[in-house]
Amino acid sequence: MPEGYVGGAQPRVDGPLKVSGLAQYAGEFPAEDLAYGVVVSSSVAKGRILRFDLEAARATPGVVAILTHKDRPTVTTDAESHQDQAAPPGLPFIPLLDERVVYSGQPVALVVAETFEAARDAAALVRVEYEVEAGVVDVAERRDAAYDPPEKRDGVPPPPPPRGDADGAFAAAPVKVSGDYRIAVEHHNPMEPHASTVFWRGGKLVVHDKVQGVTNTKAFVVNLFGLPEDDVRVLSPFVGGAFGSGLRPQYQLTLAVMAALRLKRSVRVTLTRDQMFTFTYRPDTLQTVALGAGPDGRLRSIRHDAIACTSTYEDYQEAVVNWSGLIYACDNVSLSYRLAKVDTATPGDMRAPGATTGVYALEAAIDELAYAAKVDPLELRLRNYAERDQNDDKPFSSKELRACYERGAEAFGWSRRSPEPRSMREGRDLVGLGVATGCWEAMMQPHSARAALTADGKLEIACATADIGTGTYTILAQIGADALGLPIDDVVVRIGDSSLPMAPVEGGSWAAASAGSAAQMACAALREEILKHARAMENSPLANAALDHVVFSGGRVARKDDPAGSISYVEALKAAGRERVEAKADFAPDEEFQKKFAAYTHSAVFAEVRVDEELGVVRVTRVVSAIAAGKILNQMTARSQILGGVVMGIGMALHEESMPDRRLGRFMNHNFGEYHIPSHADVRDIEVIFVDEADEANPLGIKGLGEIGIVGAAAAVANAVFHATGKRVRELPITPDKLL
């Protein structure tokens, strides 16, 4: 057990609030003047609104107003005012902007009433007449119209330039494989649906929003509606899951603000589960991977081409193919990524965006190559181990992937695997073992934090970052407790409030490294403040003590060479006549370090499946995920993150599929009855192994964990299914009909 709290297995400090139901979410904050808005969704995929019939809806008792594009509050119409921190190039969708319909399920009206039930009933009575145009929702139908995005998305690197001669090396390779891969559209389905409660306070707005970045939401509202910054405050203290769906402000926020401004009263808009399928999703992506190798399986050529869907109004982009030039050593690599416009809402970042998609195709192809070269799939990965990032020609800041392979294989029992497909059975089940590699960038963002000590000896850590269930409250409390030598119960963490020190959106697995580093720096500055006041006390035993000559522990600051000479924090503040002392710090990634090194997390994922030979039903019976992600701040919450990622990977491999009706241009299974996700019965034994890894990318030596758990998980399951059945399914999910 490590000294202090950091590195241990600390239960969530916010856990009691959540399990007792006392934690309040965006759609739960009360107000005396609260009205309720219900969204009316478009029933067509493309066209324009000709007219509304609102008579029956308006006659419903309790209806206050019905907003459409004809009578909404004024919004700014220039593209820059619509942008947010996570927006791709293009003009973001603004609800009720005009009569055009650009995707099925688009909000076309908002009914506001005194009660939710009245608003719901009236919304069902709204009639809309459309001029309908034919829409296309299948990216395969737009393959020939694919294009290279003219403007690149901030933070998403385009494919690196080709190196070597991939085509020539592939043609000359004695062992080669090539295949097309596809993952079904997946929709973000967090437990908490998106909701916004906007409090009207005499012209000022207090917004409770389900979002991953309160400062981003505040800027969006201020810019879109032309409001003074001081008139808007955004709070999101608890988020019931998001997986990326809360990175951007979603349309219920805009509608709630519109209604509050129009009515000059508080308004809540909560989306239904059906409406959760009417915006962001993991983009449909067509991928082709071609690998050429020598007789020993060593790679000589990698080609990876992808065409991803985007909306008609934005160029959403991900780093899909870049991983194929990074994970394995190869001198001849050609990568391409293009977009094709379809008539849907803009796709969005969904847990490990780009990597989950691209690494699946790469790792499935690597598995195919192993069988073609007659080399054990794990051994093939070791033979092609990359000691350097060849995309950017940099050394890795740290990389313990080899140890992940070794420890994961040992725990999983990989050596007991029979090499031939369909060679392992147990009763009526075919048994298969698969392996895949995972990789995700260890990102960081500029971040601010404040540390404050109050007269009762309590420490407060404050920043505007979010906790979407990852454990941010807990790790910030751990960092603060260790920095000031306090019990963790004496640390109060305040986050999810735009009035707190700046934080970007919480995503990309950068929150722990960024917010944690800022908090640690703020605590270091606070220690100096405490010592300053302790030294100034009359007859202070610390009068001449330097900061590096004292220790902060048990609520006291003491000399290292004379522990008896100590002063409590409470005494120091009282003597200074202060009720509170605080310090603020701004963290920014080390640019020189980033220029010199490539920083990534890595994983080795091993999966065992059992396939009923007669029914084609696949069960994932064991998974071992070995992770190298720098220092682990909290063994308990870290394991939880990897477990969640693996479960999502199982869902991708076997269950999740948003099914479009290509005639109607809409997703048809927009509910939990027909959109399948793993249930308890689908999740068996998952073992998480953290491999020690030292890294200096940030003061804490940590790398994010939110994404790496899912990357490679679906590929490991799919590869295990091939080993069990001898049937290669390249389009996920692997449903029984594809195996029979």
Distance CA 208, CA 217 (A): 10
Q: Provide CB contacts within 8 A for 649, sequence distance 6+.
A: 356, 605, 709, 710, 712, 713, 714, 716, 717
**Comparing C-alpha atoms, which of 528, 701, 541 is closest to residue 631?**
701
The dihedrals phi and psi of 590, each to the nearest 5 degrees, come to: -75, 105
Asked if 724 and 424 count as a contact pair (C-beta separation under 8 A), the reply is: yes
Asked if 736 and 443 count as a contact pair (C-beta separation under 8 A), the reply is: no
Taking each helix axis from N to C end, the angle separating 214-225 and 251-263, rounded to the nearest 10 degrees, works out to: 50
Taking each helix axis from N to C end, the angle separating 511-535 and 472-484, rounded to the nearest 10 degrees, works out to: 30
707 catalytic? Reply is: yes
Residue 468 pairs in a beta bridge with none
Distance CA 562, CA 226 (A): 60
Distance CA 712, CA 364 (A): 9
Asked if 184 and 357 count as a contact pair (C-beta separation under 8 A), the reply is: no
What is the secondary structure of 438-452 as a DSSP string?
EEEE-----EEEEEE
The dihedrals phi and psi of 702, each to the nearest 5 degrees, come to: -115, 160
Q: Which amino acid, 494? A: R
Q: Provide CB contacts within 8 A for 415, sequence distance 6+.
A: 409
Per-residue CA distances from 424 to 511, 526, 609, 654, 716 (Å): 43, 61, 11, 21, 17
**Comparing C-alpha atoms, which of 390, 304, 334, 420 is closest to residue 726?**
420
Beta strands 491-494 and 459-462 are parallel
- Strand 47-53: give its sheet, edge to edge: 100-101, 47-53, 127-132
Distance CA 17, CA 702 (A): 28
Catalytic residue among 400, 656, 657, 707: 707
Distance CA 683, CA 679 (A): 7
Q: What is the b/e burial string over 364-389, where b = at least 16 CB atoms within 10 angstroms of the residue's CB?
A: bbbbbbbbebebbbbebbebbebeeb
Q: Provide CB contacts within 8 A for 703, sequence distance 6+.
A: 442, 509, 513, 599, 600, 601, 629, 630, 693, 695, 697
Q: Is 74 helix (H, G, I), strand (E, B) or coil?
A: coil
**Comparing C-alpha atoms, which of 257, 250, 164 is closest to residue 207?**
257
Per-residue CA distances from 674 to 240, 405, 678 (Å): 22, 37, 12
**Comparing C-alpha atoms, which of 550, 670, 579 is closest to residue 187?**
670
Burial of 151 (0-12, 13-18, 19+ CB in 10 A): exposed
The two tokens of residue 265 are 């009263």
Burial of 18 (0-12, 13-18, 19+ CB in 10 A): middle
Q: Which amino acid, 356? A: T
Name the residues annotated as catalytic: 707
